[in-house]
Structure 1
Amino acid sequence: MTAIEKDCDILARTLWGEARGEGLSGQIAVAWTIRNRVFDGNARSWWGEGYVGVCLKPYQFSCWNKSDPNFPYLSGAKEIPSKQFAQAKRAADLVISGAEPDITGGATHYYASTMLKPPVWAEQAKQTLRLGNHIFFKDVP
């Protein structure tokens, strides 16, 4: 697998784990938050390096936590349903290639609107988009 194929695969797995219940536009928005972290302008970013580094950064995307019910699917121990994964792969391809614009307005964070209490970091951040079950932010302190 080439580096670009690995980036696309890990990004698609992250999208499946984080936003499989969303439509294509919702998955594209989540992918853009990851891309915004990848290209944050720092050579050695805190977020990690490249799509793989950003997606797999510990505790940034809960679907990759070993205790998360999504982890067995993302790690390959269980098979991801192909129809759901196909949409996530499409969203990953569109964002990595730059074929879709950033509808998040530069967001680097999001959370699910189903959370009982918003994360502390959201209090001082700038909300940029509400789409499906996610709320997107930038300028997070």
Structure 2
Amino acid sequence: MTVPEKDRDILARTLWGEARGESLAGLLAVAWTIRNRVDDGKAKSWWGEGYAGVCQKPYQFSCWNKTDPNYQFLIGVKQILFRELAQARIAADQVIDGKVPDPTGGATHYYALSMKKPPAWAANAKQTLKLGGHVFFKDVP
């Protein structure tokens, strides 16, 4: 399936906003979480349609919230460092093109360990991976 350039760019920007500073493995894990939502198999997914729809679904990825400090970078008002966005783009392309396996075991959710406490949804979900600054989950009720 051909993925539009806009979707590739939005996924890369989401990875930058959500996981910059992580290793390539960490970026790939976040990207796979998003791909798992894109590939959920439902004709009209709650998650949104395509990578851009999933990434920009309101309140799903905080970097796209208009009040988030990352938002001004994501929409181009402020400049993202080229090498940071380039690394995120490499991860985005590898996941979209299926060049790397899913390290998350099918996760559709994650949270950053920097949060003061885990989100409520994590209590009844199945943890699949802890990598870098994120914990990944599937079967979230």
TM tier relative to shorter chain:
over 0.9
Q: Deviations over 1:26-56 (max 9, x none)?
A: 0000000000000001010000000010000
Q: RMSD between aligned alpha carbons?
A: 1.0
TM-score scaled by length of structure 1: 0.97
Amino acid at match of 1:39: D
Report the counterpart of residue 91 of structure 2 in structure 1.
Answer: 91
Report the counterpart of residue 102 of structure 1 in structure 2.
Answer: 102
Report the counterpart of residue 58 of structure 1 in structure 2.
Answer: 58
Shift >4 Å, 4+ stretches: none
How far has the Cα of 1:3 moved from its partner? 5.5
How far has the Cα of 1:21 moved from its partner? 1.2
How far has the Cα of 1:79 moved from its partner? 1.0
Q: How many residues align?
A: 140
Report the counterpart of residue 118 of structure 1 in structure 2.
Answer: 118
SS of the aligned residue for 1:89 comes to: helix
Amino acid at match of 1:85: L
Q: Which sections of structure 1, spanning at least 5 residues, go unmatched?
A: none
Q: Which sections of structure 2, spanning at least 5 residues, go unmatched?
A: none
Amino acid at match of 1:69: P
Report the counterpart of residue 79 of structure 1 in structure 2.
Answer: 79
Q: Distance in 1 between matches of 2:21 and 2:138?
A: 23
TM-score scaled by length of structure 2: 0.97
Report the counterpart of residue 43 of structure 1 in structure 2.
Answer: 43
Q: Distance in 2 between matches of 1:50 and 1:21?
A: 25
Amino acid at match of 2:24: L
Report the counterpart of residue 133 of structure 1 in structure 2.
Answer: 133
